[in-house]
């Protein structure tokens, strides 16, 4: 997983907006981390596949 501070700040803003727009899902719901982690892994996997297949 990347440790780019800009992407980390963006993910924090997205988590805040997500908890803002769906108040019934609190930040301590057991699902928000898995959802964020899955989307992050998909992003990293897509970037890796792109970098490996662009040649």
Q: Is the pLDDT of residue 2 over 60?
A: no
**Structural domain that includes position 20:** 5-53
Q: What is the mean pLDDT of residues 2-23?
A: 60
d(CA 51, CA 47): 6
pLDDT for the residue 37: 79
Alpha-carbon torsion, ordered 47, 41, 43, 6, to 10 deg? -100
Q: Is the pLDDT of residue 3 over 70?
A: no
Determine whether 32 is exposed, middle or buried from the number of CB atoms within 10 Å of its CB (0-12, 13-18, 19+): middle
Domains in the chain, number:
1
Q: What is the mean pLDDT of residues 43-51?
A: 79
pTM for this structure?
A: 0.31
pLDDT for the residue 33: 74
- On average, the pLDDT of the chain sits at 68
């Amino acid at each position: 997983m990347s440790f780019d501070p800009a992407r980390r700040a963006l993910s924090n803003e997205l988590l805040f907006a997500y908890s803002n727009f769906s108040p019934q899902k609190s930040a301590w719901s057991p699902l928000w981390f898995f959802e964020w982690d899955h989307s992050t892994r998909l992003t990293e996997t897509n970037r890796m596949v792109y970098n490996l297949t662009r040649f």
